[in-house]
């Protein structure tokens, strides 16, 4: 607090530069002490996990907004003014460009602040602003930096400068950390969906929701609307209610994912940008000529990339809005001739169009080399729909290598989520999948809640009428692979480290 009081004493002064020896500069010595203590103290969490608001591990009190903004619920940008003392280096203006290439590490980097400014006392000189947590004396420069200074005949003497910070100079996480209640968790995340920032605010953040929405828009170029989800995705059409916190009411948006363009009304359909990697993973499993049945297709993130691989796609969604935008996006990405679109309940789609096509694809007399894949991305309920495969087909079974491959998504809160999903699927199908399924961890949805994808071939004994279960044949399926607890744990750790 003593340091902050000393720094705040500059707030009513005019900006000025003072040449000083480092031994006489108490402020810079204090900055050096702060730098050391910051290395030993892990900073508290920040609000967003998105790349544009990445945590600055070396953030400190010097560059936090003034303390009087704590508890602010209506954004007042003028209240964020603050004056701090930073080190500067005086150089001849003609060598600035050459010198800056060598001082990238040492130069100050703050939003909206020029690193090089005019010297108010000498028009032939310039002042290079330095990072006070890296440079506080000439001894703080690295050997290569000192060598460059010597070559360019620059005196490494440090001066101090009174810098006024405003709202524009603070980062999003710094503002929210200063405004929200001290001691409470301010960590949260948001998803970017075109021009929309989609937040999931916690209860203690709700009194500040409009301020948070405005700061989101201010600090993220291209974001013009901030919304908060106010219920879970538990309705028939998989969309959720949302509240516009700040900005445009327009929910019509355009996103680019894996080089494909999708347009839709975000308030009426389901879209999750965190599933981009999963969409690519499944797409890579299919080869040209394969057939895909997308049971819960949404606006097309699986169907369209697969169709682009010259595969035949049957895509379905119960939500009329998703159906509309699915057809639109197929045309937009020029795959409408390769995708057959349906607007049916998932069970009706399986027992109708899927059954009819499988009867054609799996005829014993029909020779084919392509595979049939079925994607069921409805994690909350997809496993329930697996019962539709029981005795779905009549006639003589096809060879085991031609049986459809299912990719079924689910949530699990179990301590062993992979085993939990296997058991759930096995209970619905009436057969064990221990030896012939693969479970992939998609992402961590919430504390102790995982989203997973189980992949397996539908056993002939399940798919065809009047068949008996033969475990030996079942275990010899091409997808025979059991994920050990150790392997699954390693994958979970890897995903956590990438989040």
User: Which residues are annotated binding-site positions for S-adenosyl-L-methionine?
Assistant: 279, 317-318, 345-346, 377
Question: Contact, 226 vs 247, CB < 8 A?
Answer: yes
- Tokens standing for 369? 């080399």
* Continuous segment of H or E residues that includes residue 282: helix 276-285
Nearest Cα residue to 246 out of 211, 274, 201, 287: 211
Question: Contact, 283 vs 309, CB < 8 A?
Answer: yes
At 357 the three-state DSSP class reads: helix
Q: How far apart are CA 467 and CA 450, in angstroms?
A: 35
Q: What are phi and psi of 125, to 5 degrees?
A: -120, 165
286 class by beta-carbon count within 10 Å (0-12 exposed, 13-18 middle, 19+ buried): buried
- Tokens standing for 405? 């491959």
Q: Strands 372-376, 405-412: parallel, antiparallel or unpaired by DSSP?
A: parallel
Question: DSSP characters for 417-439?
Answer: HHHHHHHHHHHHHTS--TTSEEE
* Continuous segment of H or E residues that includes residue 495: helix 485-498
The residues near 471 (Cβ < 8 Å, ≥ 6 apart) are 432
Q: Which residue ranges make up the annotated binding site?
A: 279, 317-318, 345-346, 377
- Tokens standing for 180? 């929200």
């Amino acid at each position: 607090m003593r340091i902050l009081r000393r720094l705040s004493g500059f707030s009513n002064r005019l900006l000025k530069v003072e040449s000083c020896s480092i031994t006489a500069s108490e402020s810079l010595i204090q900055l050096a002490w702060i730098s050391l203590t910051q290395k030993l103290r892990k900073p508290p969490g920040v609000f967003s996990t998105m790349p544009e608001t990445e945590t600055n591990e070396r953030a400190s009190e010097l560059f936090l907004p003034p303390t009087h903004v704590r508890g602010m619920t209506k954004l007042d940008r003028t209240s964020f003014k603050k004056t701090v003392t930073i080190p500067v280096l005086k150089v001849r203006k003609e060598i600035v460009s050459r010198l800056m290439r060598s001082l990238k590490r040492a130069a100050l980097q703050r939003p909206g602040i020029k690193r090089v400014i005019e010297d108010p006392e000498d028009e032939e000189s310039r002042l290079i602003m330095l990072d006070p947590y890296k440079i506080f004396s000439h001894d703080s420069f690295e050997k290569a930096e000192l060598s460059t200074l010597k070559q360019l005949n620059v005196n490494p003497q440090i001066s101090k400068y009174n810098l006024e910070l405003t709202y524009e100079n603070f980062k999003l996480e710094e503002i929210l950390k200063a405004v929200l209640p001290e001691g409470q968790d301010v960590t949260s995340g948001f998803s970017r969906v075109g021009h929309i920032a989609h937040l999931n605010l916690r209860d203690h953040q709700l009194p500040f929701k409009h301020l948070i929405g405005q700061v989101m828009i201010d600090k993220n170029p291209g974001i013009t609307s901030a919304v908060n989800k106010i219920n879970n995705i538990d309705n028939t059409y998989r969309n959720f209610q949302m509240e516009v916190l700040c900005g445009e009411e327009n929910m019509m948006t355009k996103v680019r994912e894996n080089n494909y363009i999708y347009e839709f009304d975000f308030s009426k359909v389901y879209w999750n940008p965190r599933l981009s990697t999963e969409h690519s993973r499944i797409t890579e499993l299919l080869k040209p000529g394969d057939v895909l049945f997308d049971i819960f297709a949404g606006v097309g993130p699986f169907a369209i990339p697969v169709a682009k691989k010259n595969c035949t796609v049957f895509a379905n969604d119960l939500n009329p809005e998703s159906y509309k935008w699915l057809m639109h996006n197929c045309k937009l990405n020029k795959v409408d001739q390769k995708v057959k679109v349906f607007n049916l309940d998932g069970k009706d789609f399986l027992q109708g169009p899927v059954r009819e096509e499988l009867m054609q694809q799996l005829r014993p007399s029909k020779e084919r080399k392509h595979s049939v894949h079925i994607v069921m991305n409805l994690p909350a309920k997809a496993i329930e729909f697996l019962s539709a495969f029981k005795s779905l087909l009549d006639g003589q079974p096809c060879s085991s290598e031609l049986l459809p491959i299912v990719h079924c998504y689910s949530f699990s809160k179990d301590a062993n989520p992979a085993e939990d999903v296997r058991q759930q699927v096995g209970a619905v199908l009436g057969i064990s999948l221990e030896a012939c399924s693969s479970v992939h961890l998609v992402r961590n949805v919430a504390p102790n809640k995982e989203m997973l994808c189980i992949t397996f071939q539908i056993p002939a004994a399940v798919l065809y009428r009047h068949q008996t279960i033969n475990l030996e044949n079942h275990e010899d399926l091409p997808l025979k692979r059991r994920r050990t607890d150790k392997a699954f744990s390693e994958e979970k750790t890897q995903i956590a480290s990438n989040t």
